[in-house]
Amino acid sequence: MRDLNLIQAALGAVALMIGLGVLVAAIRSGSVGENPKAAAMLIGGMMLATFGLLMAAFAIGYAASAPVTLNAEVSR
């Protein structure tokens, strides 16, 4: 299970870097308002960067948290 979590964190980091690269490429084109391709790259880059960030963050959070036992007795 730890290998899968490491792969998920690595894929999230790669998706974040690719998304940021697409975002920077769209911004550097300079014609985001006039060019539909630049606008699509801007939106897609933001979506991919956000997905990568969330994927890596949830993988790290899952690895750092304790297991949840839903059938355990509650002490009062």
- Predicted confidence (pLDDT) at residue 19 exceeds the cutoff of 80: yes
How many helices (H) and strands (E) are present in the chain, helices listed first? 2, 0
- Which residues have CB under 8 Å from 35's CB, separation 6+? 29
pLDDT level of residue 21 (50, 70, 90 thresholds): very high
Query: How far apart are alpha carbons 41 and 8 in whole angstroms?
Result: 24
DSSP state of 65: S
Mean pLDDT for 42-49 is: 94
**pLDDT tier at 34, thresholds 50, 70, 90:** confident
Q: Which pLDDT value is given to residue 53?
A: 94
User: Is residue 30 very low, low, confident or very high in pLDDT (cuts 50, 70, 90)?
Assistant: confident
Angle between helices 36-64 and 2-29 (to 10 degrees): 160
Residue 41, CB-side half-sphere exposure with 13 Å CA sphere: 20
